[in-house]
């Protein structure tokens, strides 16, 4: 989607002062940011490229990566849906598509290796190389003779580990993964992916017994939070195995780490690791969870570091939002490998966790049946509720009624959100950590946006205002009370020293001073906030795997308030009840992948707040990313050899910006 920014202020930092010609036109129109323009200008100056249209093409390629695409299709920049949302874009002086890419290919940028052109696809060199490398490494793995397995032992293990008909899908998945070097295991939430993985590991451990060895197993995920959940889920799933298989898994000492940690994070580089083609990972089995969140760059680093004779099991849900960084790797693998190598992709379809109501809604969203989604929402029930704010007040932005104007939508939202915030506050004020953390898991408000009336910031402040009114106490930064009892927390960056991971959640509770023996410097710096202006001493409690961490709030650097969180951030986590606040239908963030991700965060009940047109837009609009990996994997040497642009699902902007 051609997403625009709207710069009314001439000093807006997104405007590139000094830009000229086409770059200036596209910058002023909000298509290109100053960063896109500067990169293009600099690279063209260095390479000696003076053709304005080629400069524009390069800036659009830079922009595409910023929006999560791996390349840009110069022949397919505008589609009717984009133009309906932003008709003014059509009036920009777009170059004639025919021959545009060829001019880039014939020019000095391509000669200098800054860009690569394939058909109408324009890549920045790095992403072109990474796509090719992922394809080559995966196809090389697929071309090797299959791993040797003892069939009789395997068949006996299948029946033992997955004992009845309800495990048919998982049994088939584990059998596939046991007999291949690379397997992509897909399924929505609660379809038993982790259970299948635990069973597979027991089966592989038994296979290794014949050689008197133990398989070296790595469990990994793109984020710390997802890795922690994977470890916990595998441990829980292992408990369902019989004693003999549990005993097989015990010596494997299964712990999970982030992909960055597994690959060997190196200070100063986000894309180069200690393990690579020349220093491969030692493991025999590598299980990656939440693969939909893995970017192309990280996948490239992973597949080159895996030993050819190690099993790689990529687990995830390809219908969810794709990675924050460029690529839609899981969706591409599922599409490309399924076409080329029919056995590599195994899908689990039966949900063992959701109630039927959420499952039906999620499936209707997944397949893009907007009429059914609207009918299911209208029907409602135990698990599904719809708050349609209805027609908005004159002058109000469409769909804003529930967010801003007084009305039934606002009253209902207030009731739900305030009740949850007060329950949290009550447990936190009593210093009851277990209850506070349990209450935290009961409900999430999920927003597409970060800012604006549909955004997390607005709703965090709004809930704080409601709590302040209800309790007649100052709450929130508006009152100079950043730290207050019952403040829900979302960790926004990994801190390996403190064992905190991006995506961890927690709550501020009343409690004894210096829970972690904080230094005198901490105490001085944090005292005013930590005491909440004469209130009790405060401690932050962060939920961990099987345990929690308590520390002084002053030690927490990267945290947000979590009365509301973005759908992007919610990936990989669930809550009993979820309220999804949809932005208006013209929001560039609305997409089927976003809506599906939000709905599937709910374990017991999902509440959708949004107009019918917003619901329909969410279901019908595909988030798109331009990538070539799917087609490369499917068989074509170059993505353009089989036709025009390759688009795959999963294309939110890299970060929600509204």
Ligand X SMILES: Nc1ncnc2c1ncn2[C@@H]1O[C@H](COP(=O)(O)OP(=O)(O)OP(=O)(O)O)[C@@H](O)[C@H]1O
Contacts of residue 38, defined as CB under 8 A and 6 or more positions apart, other chains included, come to 16
524 is in an annotated binding site: no
Nearest 5 degrees, angle CA 191-CA 194-CA 197?
120
Pairing of strands 256-258, 217-221: parallel
Closest CA to 44 of 58, 33, 34: 58
Q: How far is CA 397 from the centre of its chain?
A: 28
Minimum gap (Å) between residue 157 Cβ and ligand X: 16
Stretch that binds ligand X, among 23-31, 182-190, 260-268, 619-627 (CB under 6 A): 182-190
What is the DSSP secondary-structure string of 417-460? HHHHHHHHHHHHHTT-HHHHHHHHTTEEEEESBSSSTTBHHHHH
- Give the whole-angstrom CA distance, residue 486 versus residue 313: 40
Nearer to ligand X, 166 or 406 (CB): 166
Binding-site member from 69, 195, 392, 481 for ligand X (CB under 6 A):
195
Nearer to ligand X, 169 or 385 (CB): 169
Sign of torsion over alpha carbons 349, 353, 357, 358? negative
CA neighbor of 433 nearest in space, from 313, 595, 541: 541
Distances (CA, A) of 216 to 204, 205, 227, 308: 10, 9, 17, 14
Q: Which residue in the set 67, 175, 193, 487 belongs to the binding site for ligand X (CB under 6 A)?
A: 193
For ligand X, give the closer residue by CB, 190 or 359: 190
Q: Give the nearest distance from C-beta 606 to ligand X in angstroms.
A: 15
Q: How far is the CB of 316 from ligand X (least distance, A)?
A: 9
Q: How far is the CB of 27 from ligand X (least distance, A)?
A: 42
In the complex, what is the shortest distance from the CB of residue 129 to ligand X, in angstroms, rounded to a whole number? Answer: 32
**Smallest distance from ligand X to CB 594, Å:** 18
Among 107, 119, 189, 455, binds ligand X (CB under 6 A): 189
- Closer residue to ligand X in complex, CB, 353/372: 353
Please compute Rg for the chain using Cα positions.
26
Non-local (6+) Cβ contacts of 389 within 8 A are 399, 400, 401, 402, 403, 407, 409, 609, 610, 611
CA dihedral 280, 282, 287, 290 (to 10 degrees): -50
State the CB neighbour count (10 A cutoff) for residue 48: 11
Give me the least distance between CB of 378 and ligand X, in Å please: 27
Report how far residue 33's alpha carbon sits from residue 14's, in angstroms, rounded to the nearest whole number.
5
Measured N-to-C along each axis, helices 21-28 and 52-66 cross at an angle, to the nearest 10 degrees, of 40
Binding residue for ligand X, selected from 18, 21, 166, 308, defined by CB under 6 A: 166
User: Which segment (163-171, 395-403, 417-425, 540-548) binds ligand X by CB under 6 A?
Assistant: 163-171
The H or E element spanning position 361 is: helix 356-367
Please select the residue that binds ligand X; options are 33, 120, 194, 579, rule is CB under 6 A: 194
Binding mask 343-362 for ligand X (x = CB under 6 A): ---------xx---------
Say whether 192 counts as a known binding-site residue. Answer: yes
Least distance in angstroms from the C-beta of 605 to ligand X: 16
| Backbone phi and psi for residue 452, each to the nearest 5 degrees, phi listed first | 85, 180
For 26, the token pair is 């596209």
Question: For ligand X, how many residues bind (rule: CB under 6 A)?
Answer: 16
Q: Which of 27, 182, 183, 191 binds ligand X (CB under 6 A)?
A: 191
Q: What are phi and psi of 535, to 5 degrees?
A: -80, -165
- Shorter beta-carbon distance to ligand X: residue 264 or 355: 355
> How far is CA 402 from each of CA 331, 370, 584, 596, rounded to the nearest angstrom?
34, 21, 11, 21
Contacting residue, 187, 215, 453, 526, with ligand X by CB under 6 A: 187
Give me the least distance between CB of 419 and ligand X, in Å please. 27
Is 93 a known ligand-binding residue? no
Task: Pick the piece of the chain touching ligand X (CB under 6 A) from 183-191, 320-328, 400-408, 638-646.
Answer: 183-191
Spatial separation of the C-alpha atoms in residues 92 and 171, rounded to whole Å: 55
Least Å distance between CB 342 and ligand X? 23
381 is in an annotated binding site: no
For the chain, give the number of residues: 658
Answer for which of 192, 224, 486, 584 binds ligand X (CB under 6 A) is 192
Among residues 184, 600, 106, 628, which one has the least CA distance to residue 358? Answer: 600
Nearer to ligand X by Cβ, of 19 and 233: the residue is: 233
Which residues lie closer than 8 Å to 6 by C-beta, 6 or more apart?
Answer: 30
Q: How far apart are CA 88 and CA 78, in angstroms?
A: 12
**What is the residue whose two structure tokens read 């791996």?**
70
Judged by CB under 6 A, the stretch of 13-21, 138-146, 185-193, 556-564 that binds ligand X is 185-193
- Report the nearest approach of ligand X to the CB of residue 233 (Å): 5
Range in contact with ligand X (rule: CB under 6 A) among 147-155, 189-197, 330-338, 622-630:
189-197
Distance set, CA 201 to CA 92, 546, 555 (Å): 56, 22, 39
- For residues 4 and 579, give the distance between their C-alpha atoms in angstroms, rounded to a whole number: 28
Instruction: Closer to ligand X by CB, 195 or 207: give it.
Output: 195
* Residue 190 annotated as lining a ligand binding site: yes
Cβ 349 to ligand X, closest distance in Å? Answer: 11
Query: Taking contact as CB under 6 A, which single stretch among the options 18-26, 60-68, 190-198, 388-396 is the one that binds ligand X?
Result: 190-198
Q: Counting contacts by CB under 6 A, is residue 425 touching ligand X?
A: no
* Residue 335 C-beta: closest distance to ligand X, Å: 21
Q: Is 189 marked as binding a ligand?
A: yes
User: Based on CB atoms, which residue is closest to ligand X, 166 or 480?
Assistant: 166
CA distances, 641 to each of 53, 104, 631, 632, 647 (Å): 24, 18, 9, 9, 15
Q: Least separation, in Å, of the C-beta of 545 and ligand X?
A: 13
Touching ligand X, residues 581-640 (CB under 6 A)? none
Alpha-helix residue ranges (DSSP H) falling in 166-223:
168-178, 193-209
Instruction: Please report, as residue ranges, which positions from 222 to 241 form the binding site for ligand X (by CB under 6 A).
Output: 233, 237, 240
- Return the range that interacts with ligand X (CB under 6 A); candidates 186-194, 201-209, 427-435, 561-569: 186-194
Residue 123 binds ligand X, judged by CB under 6 A: no
Q: Which is nearer to ligand X, 192 or 409 (CB)?
A: 192
Could you list the beta-strand ranges (E) of 222-351. Answer: 256-258, 265-266, 269-273, 285-288, 311-316, 345-348
Q: Is 167 in the site for ligand X (CB under 6 A)?
A: yes
Contacts to ligand X by CB under 6 A? 166-167, 170, 187, 189-195, 233, 237, 240, 352-353
Annotated binding-site members for ATP: 187-194
Annotated binding site: 187-194
């Amino acid at each position: 989607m051609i997403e625009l920014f709207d710069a009314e202020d001439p000093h807006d930092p997104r405007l590139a002062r000094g830009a000229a010609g086409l770059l200036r036109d596209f910058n002023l129109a909000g298509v290109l940011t100053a960063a896109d323009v500067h990169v293009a200008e600099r690279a063209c100056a260095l390479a000696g490229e003076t053709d304005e249209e080629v400069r524009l093409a390069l800036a659009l390629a830079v922009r595409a990566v910023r929006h999560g695409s791996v390349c840009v299709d110069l022949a397919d920049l505008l589609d009717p849906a984009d133009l309906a949302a932003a008709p003014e874009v059509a009036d920009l002086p777009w170059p004639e598509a025919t021959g545009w890419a060829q001019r880039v290919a014939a020019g000095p940028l391509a000669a200098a290796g800054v860009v690569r052109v394939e058909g109408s696809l324009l890549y920045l060199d790095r992403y072109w190389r990474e796509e090719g490398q992922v394809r080559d490494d995966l196809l090389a793995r697929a071309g090797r003779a299959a791993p040797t397995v003892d069939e009789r032992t395997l068949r006996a293990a299948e029946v033992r580990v997955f004992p009845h008909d309800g495990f048919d899908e998982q049994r088939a998945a584990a059998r596939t993964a046991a007999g291949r070097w690379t397997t992509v295991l897909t399924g929505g939430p609660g379809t038993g992916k982790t259970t299948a993985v635990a069973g597979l590991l027991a089966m592989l451990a038994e296979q290794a017994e014949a050689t008197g060895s133990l398989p070296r197993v790595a469990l990994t995920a793109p984020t710390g939070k997802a890795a922690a959940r994977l470890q916990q889920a595998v441990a829980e799933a292992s408990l369902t195995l019989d004693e003999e298989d549990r005993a097989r898994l015990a010596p494997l000492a299964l712990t999970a780490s982030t992909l960055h940690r597994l690959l060997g994070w190196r200070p100063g580089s986000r894309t180069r690791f200690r393990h690579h083609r020349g220093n491969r990972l030692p493991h025999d089995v590598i299980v990656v969870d939440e693969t939909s969140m893995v970017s192309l760059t990280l996948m490239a680093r992973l597949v080159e570091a895996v030993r050819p004779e190690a099993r790689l099991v990529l687990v995830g849900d390809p219908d969810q939002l794709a990675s924050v960084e460029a690529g839609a790797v899981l969706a591409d693998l599922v599409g490309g490998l399924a076409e080329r190598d029919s056995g590599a992709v195994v899908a689990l379809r039966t949900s063992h966790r959701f109630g039927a109501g959420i499952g039906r809604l999620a499936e209707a969203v997944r397949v893009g049946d907007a009429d059914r989604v609207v009918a299911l929402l209208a029907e409602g029930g135990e698990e599904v509720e719809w708050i349609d704010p209805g027609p908005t007040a004159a002058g109000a932005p469409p769909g804003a009624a529930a967010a801003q104007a007084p009305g039934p939508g606002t009253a209902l939202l207030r009731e739900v959100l305030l009740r949850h915030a007060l329950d949290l506050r009550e447990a936190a004020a009593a210093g009851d950590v277990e209850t506070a953390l349990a209450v935290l898991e009961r409900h999430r408000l999920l927003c597409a946006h970060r800012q604006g009336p549909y955004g997390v910031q607005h709703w965090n402040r709004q809930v704080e205002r409601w709590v302040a009114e209800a309790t007649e106490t100052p709450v929130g930064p508006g009152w100079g009370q950043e730290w207050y009892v019952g403040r829900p927390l979302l960790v926004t960056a990994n801190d390996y020293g403190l064992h905190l991971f991006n995506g961890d959640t927690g709550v501020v509770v009343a409690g004894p001073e210096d829970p972690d023996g904080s230094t005198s410097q901490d105490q001085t710096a944090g005292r005013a906030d930590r005491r909440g202006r004469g209130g009790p001493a405060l401690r932050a409690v962060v939920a961990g795997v099987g345990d929690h961490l308590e520390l002084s709030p002053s030690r927490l650097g990267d945290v947000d308030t979590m009365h509301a969180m973005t759908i992007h951030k919610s990936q990989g986590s669930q809550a009993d009840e979820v309220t999804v606040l949809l932005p208006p239908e013209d929001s560039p963030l609305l997409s089927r992948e976003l809506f599906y991700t939000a709905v599937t965060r709910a374990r017991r009940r999902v509440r959708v707040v949004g107009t019918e047109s917003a619901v329909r837009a969410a279901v019908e609009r595909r988030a798109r990313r331009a990538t070539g990996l799917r087609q490369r994997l499917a068989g074509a040497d170059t993505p353009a050899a089989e036709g025009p642009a390759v688009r795959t699902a999963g294309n939110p902007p890299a970060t929600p910006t509204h």
